[in-house]
């Protein structure tokens, strides 16, 4: 190995080490928030999830066609995931949820919970999930390349991800301050990492949280991320009525 190549290799290793250290510091910060900041962990309902995500029916139907397990990254109290698993929307699916701390959750059929950060997804088998959902979840990570690596490792070929991120418009002075303090960020670095891995990516900027849908290579070309996003947005009123 030439000195130049060796120096390049050493620089890449050092860069990777710094990224891991930054990610570890962020994970410690997020765990602290989960344990000590009451407003950080949202106690969302399935109705909240549908509104925030712009609908889930098309996303879940597509995910089910790839693999019957759906992973949620950042479950909060897990109440919304429990509702989803027991609703018509969750028929035929098993769910895995992740969080950063051991929180007490009720036992729910078809739901398995893991304590692991988005940058690692420990305990999630490679190519084992058909869809990944993350509402107010991965947008808090400062290591999007590590998160996307973990997502890519977990999804089957053709698998889907649907996630929300901080929008450009103000949430009001108080929530802007909190999101600044907590590190809630935009979709842009995640879209960049997904596209680098040749995912089909679509985004809608809603005036609140932005919504991203992406399909891993291997998907049927008759379906696109944009189509899934639009199908759910268009059928959202019917989905809300279904669980009302």
Per residue of the chain (244 residues), what is the pLDDT tens digit?
A: 565 544 554 554 555 565 666 666 666 766 666 666 666 667 788 999 999 999 999 999 999 999 999 999 988 888 889 999 999 999 999 999 998 765 555 566 678 888 888 988 989 999 999 999 999 899 988 889 999 999 999 999 999 999 999 999 999 999 999 889 888 899 999 999 999 999 999 999 988 899 999 999 998 888 999 999 999 999 999 999 988 7
What is the share, in percent, of the chain residues with pLDDT greater than 70? 79
Considering the domain 46-243 in this protein, what is its CATH number?
3.40.50.150
What's the pTM? Answer: 0.85
Residue 142 near residue 186, CB atoms below 8 Å: no
Average pLDDT score, the chain: 85
**Are the C-beta atoms of 101 and 66 separated by less than 8 Å?**
no
Q: Which two tokens stand for residue 52?
A: 């925030």
pLDDT digits 0-9 by tens, 13-33: 555 565 666 666 666 766 666
CA distance 110 to 41: 22
Listing DSSP states for 179-210 in one string gives HHHHT---SHHHHHHHHHTT-EEEEE--SSSE
Q: Where are the domains of the chain?
A: 46-243
């Amino acid at each position: 190995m030439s000195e130049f190549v060796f120096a390049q290799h050493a620089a890449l290793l050092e860069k990777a080490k710094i990224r891991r250290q930054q990610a570890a510091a962020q994970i410690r910060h997020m765990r602290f928030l989960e344990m000590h900041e009451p407003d950080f962990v949202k106690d969302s309902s399935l109705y909240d999830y549908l509104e925030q995500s712009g609908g889930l029916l098309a996303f879940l139907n597509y995910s089910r066609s790839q693999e019957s397990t759906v992973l949620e990254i950042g479950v909060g109290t897990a109440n919304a995931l429990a509702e989803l698993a027991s609703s018509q929307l969750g028929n035929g699916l098993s769910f895995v949820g992740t969080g950063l701390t051991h929180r007490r959750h009720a036992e729910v059929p078809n739901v398995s919970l893991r304590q692991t950060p988005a940058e690692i997804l420990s305990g999630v088998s490679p190519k084992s999930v058909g869809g990944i959902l993350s509402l107010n979840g991965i947008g808090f990570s400062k290591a999007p390349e590590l998160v996307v690596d973990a997502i890519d490792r977990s999804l089957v070929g053709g698998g889907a991800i649907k996630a929300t991120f901080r929008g450009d418009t103000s949430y009001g002075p108080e929530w802007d301050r909190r999101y600044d303090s907590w590190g809630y960020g935009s979709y842009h670095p995640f879209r960049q990492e997904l596209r680098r891995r040749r995912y089909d990516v679509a985004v809608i900027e809603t005036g609140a949280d932005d919504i991203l849908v992406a399909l891993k290579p291997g998907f049927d070309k008759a379906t696109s991320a944009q189509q899934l996003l639009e199908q759910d947005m268009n059928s959202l009123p019917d989905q809300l009525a279904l669980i009302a």
